[in-house]
Amino acid sequence: MQTPLLNFIPISAKPMITTLLAVDGLTVKVKNERKTRHGDYRALPNGKHQITVNSNLNCYRFLITLIHEIAHFEAYKTYGRFIKPHGKEWKQTFQHLMLPFLSPDIFPTELLPLLANHFKNPKASSDTDTQLAFALKQFDESNDKTYVFEVSLNQTFKLYNGRIFKRGNKRRKRYECVEVNSGKLYLFNPNAEVEVLDKNIN
């Protein structure tokens, strides 16, 4: 295990994380920000296993992501490689691993009810849990990013790749957004991070 990894998680979580990662053949790497994922798990061709987690996450999101990926590793070891990536085996493993961490010694008290609710049926990404994602965002360093659900109707915004959209109506869960250049309609997750533009583009 890389020693710097422990610098990214809450102090009180370090002993339990050290124990979880004290296994042969598992490497954890901290990576620069990746826009499409917070972390990942891979079973390598040489029989070893690798977890990566983004370095830009706040300590609480980093910890959740790390345990999410450890759960993939543990589910693989227990149930084999033919299980669904985020199926019932992974969900049960994630719940089991996460439970000891759901403590006011590790997480702020305002996050605990949201985490408890989320882990009744954990999803492939905590970003799909609007309330939890928004609460976790409050612990990020200040930046110019906004969630789509915070963008006003007809306001324009920009993605990390430079594409510009105008926010439309909300459907049951996602938001209709029109790409300004092409006029094509896309559906956005409420928790997609975007940069709101100062002026609308007609």
Domain CATH number, residue 162: 2.30.30.30
Query: Strand 146-147's sheet: what is its strand order?
Result: 146-147, 193-196, 156-158, 164-170, 175-179, 185-188
- pTM for this one? 0.84
Q: Give the angle subtended at the CA of 8 by the CAs of 45 and 109, to the nearest 5°.
A: 120
Is the residue at 91 inside a domain?
yes
Burial of 134 (0-12, 13-18, 19+ CB in 10 A): middle
Burial of 50 (0-12, 13-18, 19+ CB in 10 A): middle
Distance CA 60, CA 4 (A): 16
* pLDDT value for 199: 56
Last residue of a domain, one of 114, 137, 160: 137
Same domain? 86 vs 153: no
* pLDDT value for 192: 87
Same domain? 24 vs 78: yes
* pLDDT value for 3: 46
Same domain? 191 vs 113: no
Last residue of a domain, one of 103, 137, 171: 137
Same domain? 67 vs 150: no
pLDDT tens for the chain, 202 residues: list them. Answer: 444 899 999 999 999 999 999 988 899 999 988 888 899 999 999 999 999 999 999 999 999 999 999 999 999 999 998 999 999 999 999 999 999 999 999 999 999 999 999 999 999 988 888 899 989 989 998 777 888 999 999 999 999 899 999 999 999 889 999 999 999 999 998 888 899 996 544 4
Q: Tokens 């370095």 — which residue?
A: 55
Same domain? 15 vs 112: yes
Q: Are 44 and 50 in contact (CB under 8 A)?
A: yes
* pLDDT value for 1: 42
Same domain? 8 vs 99: yes
Same domain? 132 vs 177: no
R_g of the chain, CA atoms, integer Å: 19
Structural domain boundaries, residue 158: 146-196
Same domain? 132 vs 176: no
* pLDDT value for 2: 47
Strands 185-188 and 175-179: antiparallel
125-134 contacts at long range (C-beta below 8 A, 24 or more positions apart):
125/38, 126/61, 126/64, 126/65, 126/68, 127/38, 127/189, 127/191, 128/189, 128/191, 130/190, 130/191, 133/191, 134/191
Q: Tokens 């994380």 — which residue?
A: 17
Same domain? 105 vs 21: yes
Q: Which two tokens stand for residue 179?
A: 């790409």
Same domain? 68 vs 165: no
* pLDDT value for 36: 82
Is the residue at 201 inside a domain?
no
Structural domain total, the chain: 2
* pLDDT value for 142: 75
Same domain? 22 vs 113: yes
Same domain? 7 vs 96: yes
* Nearest Cα to Cα of residue 21 among 57, 45, 53: 53
* pLDDT value for 136: 94
